[in-house]
Amino acid sequence: MTVIDRAPIGRAPGPGPAVVAFGGGHGLAASLRALRRITHRLTAVVTVGDDGGSSGRLRAELDALPMGDLRMALAALAGPDTWSSAWAELFQHRFGGDGPLAGHAVGNLVLTALAERHGSPVGALDLAGRLLGAAGRVLPLSDDGIDIVARVAGLDPGDPHATVEVRGQAAVATTAGRVVSVYLRPAKPAACPPVLTAIDSAEWIVFGPGSLYTSVLPHLLVPEVTGRLLGSPARRVMVLNLVPQPGETEGYLPEEHLRVIGTHVPELALDVVIADPDAVPDPAALAHASAELGARLHLAPVAHPGEPRHDPRRLAAAFEAVFGLTPDSRPGREEHAGRTEIFRPGPGPSAGAAPGGAWPGAGRPVGNDELVSDEAASAGGTRGGPATAGRSCEGEE
């Protein structure tokens, strides 16, 4: 029996701030499991470049939008009641065997069918969200699939500095070379209109954790989205990964992730960078890289003890600490850039504390922290049973 963490533990009274979270896969699911604890006004925006596993097969066979990451976001937001839990677990179920359905997640098939019947992926996701009692809205970055393309060095033994084009999310995420840059095909995909509306209403924008080149950056490479973000007064938060991702960011230090963002989207400024102190070898270097993007560094224990995955309670406490200063009371970017905050839990209860005043990370987190993406299922041979029947570090899958 899969236990799914959906309880809004520690949420302050009231609807909470309007938050838009961008990402994909396990990283976005981690943010959503945390954010749902502190706000009712939550929109998830999911990248649609997946071309591996069940999503890739449906995309190739039916020219359908890849639904795997969208399904995972819905499951992360599903309601705590028996009805919602049952549907969430069914959506996460993956068929076994060796036939045509082997490896497909039920939710991918249902969402694809709903999108065909409605003629709209947004309509399909909204209906599925009601079915699962989702604590927020899940939207695709674009109504049409995109392709992620990377320039990768180190794949030519004769010329290690030469770059070659690697196309497709699955190929980019697992490349043996070093990613130099990424771009999209088409170069200017149309943004999903409700995404732009959500940005206009947002008080906070959250990026990450997640695969840097295939889950985070694609959002910032859609001109309509970037333009709307730059014109929004919403504050922007980046949550860093706990470990580098093999292949895609292998060997990267935390500050290198920020420099990649700055290189690809130099006009984008951030307000806060959240990182776990145990995942930061050089806090001063990370604080400097944060300042280059206009942000302050917020160090807080957000990992599940002993494991490279985010604990929803701890991450919620970090978000709460950051969101606790309203935009009106916060200093301007030029005043707080480069500042480092070290957040340590106090001995008593807090807004993000677990019942009884325990630190939110105390004990094993009750949660859907073991979601398996379509890529992971395809590579690892996950067949039969719930799609949560394995473990993957969010954002580093």
Phi, psi of 224 (to 5 degrees): -65, -40
Predicted local confidence at residue 361, as pLDDT:
30
Count up the domains in the chain and report the number: 1
> Which range marks the domain in which residue 229 is found?
19-361+369-380
Name beta bridge partners: 147. Answer: 185
Residues for the chain: how many in total? 397
- Residue 296 pairs in a beta bridge with 272
Of the candidates 50, 19, 49, 48, the residue with the CA atom closest to the CA atom of residue 32? 19
Query: Quick check: is 105 in a domain?
Result: yes
Tokens of 351: 């807004």
In a domain, 395, yes or no: no
Rounded CA separation 61/13 (Å)? 47
On the CB side of 224, how many CA atoms lie within 13 Å of its CA?
14
Residue 14 lies in a domain: no
Does any domain span residue 11? no
Domain assignment present for 2: no
Within-domain flag for 390: no
Domain containing residue 350: CATH number: 3.40.50.10680
Residue 159 lies in a domain: yes
Q: Which pLDDT does position 384 carry in this prediction? A: 53
Please list the rounded mean pLDDT of every run of 10 residues in the chain (397 residues).
Answer: 36 78 96 95 97 92 94 96 95 93 94 95 97 97 95 90 93 92 96 98 97 96 97 97 90 96 97 97 97 97 94 96 61 51 47 30 30 46 46 38
137-140 β-sheet, strand order: 137-140, 42-46, 19-23, 204-207, 235-239, 272-275, 296-299, 340-342
> What predicted TM-score, i.e. pTM, was given to this entire model?
0.83
Q: Return the residue matching tokens 């003890």.
A: 305
DSSP 66: P
The amino acid present at 367, given as its one-letter code, is: G
The answer as to whether 4 is a domain residue is no
| Beta strand ranges found along the chain (DSSP E) | 19-23, 42-46, 137-140, 147-153, 163-167, 178-185, 204-207, 235-239, 272-275, 296-299, 340-342
Distance CA 299, CA 185 (A): 36
The CA distance from 6 to 36, in Å, is 8
